[in-house]
Amino acid sequence: MIQSNNSVLHSIPSPCFVLEEARLEQNLAIFQRVQQQAPVKVLLALKAFALFHGFPLIRQTLPGASASSLWEAQLAAEEFGGDLHIYSPAYRHQDMDRILNYADHLTFNSISQWQRHYPLIQQLSTPPSVGLRINPQYSPVETALYNPCQPYTRLGVSPEHLGNVLPPGIDGFLSHNLCESDSYALEKTLLSIEEFFGQFLPQLQWLNLGGGHLMTRQGYDVEHAITVLREFHQRYPHIQLFMEPGAAITWETGFLLSTVQDIIPTAELTNVMLDVSFTAHMPDCLEMPYQPVIFGAHPPQPGEKIYRMGGSSCLAGDFMGDYAFSQQLSVGDRIIFEDMMHYTMVKTTMFNGVVHPSIGILKKDGTFEMWREFSYPDYRARLG
Q: What residues are designated binding site for substrate?
A: 284
Which segments are annotated as binding site?
Answer: 284
Q: Which amino acid is it at 277?
A: S
| 3-state SS record for 87-135 | ECCCCCHHHHHHHHHHCCEEEECCHHHHHHHHHHHHCCCCCCEEEEEEC
Measured distance CA(209)–CA(40) in Å, rounded: 10
Q: Which of 252, 270, 184, 176 is nearest to 221 (CA)?
A: 184
Element at 280 (helix H, strand E): helix 278-281
Cβ neighbour number for residue 337 with a 10 Å cutoff: 25
Side-chain-side CA neighbours of residue 230 (13 Å): 11
How does DSSP assign 293-342, residue by residue? PBTTEEPPPTTSPPEEEE-SSS-TT-EEEEEEESS---TT-EEEEES-ST
Confirm if 103 and 82 have CB atoms less than 8 A apart: no
**Which pairs with CB-CB distance under 8 Å and at least 24 residues apart come from 56-59?**
57/21, 57/24, 57/25, 57/28, 58/24, 58/28, 58/249
Contacts of 165 (CB under 8 A, 6+ apart): none
Q: Which of 30, 26, 23, 25 is nearest to 57 (CA)?
A: 25
Measured distance CA(277)–CA(232) in Å, rounded: 44
Cβ neighbour number for residue 122 with a 10 Å cutoff: 10
End-to-end Cα distance, the chain: 40
Cβ neighbour number for residue 300 with a 10 Å cutoff: 16
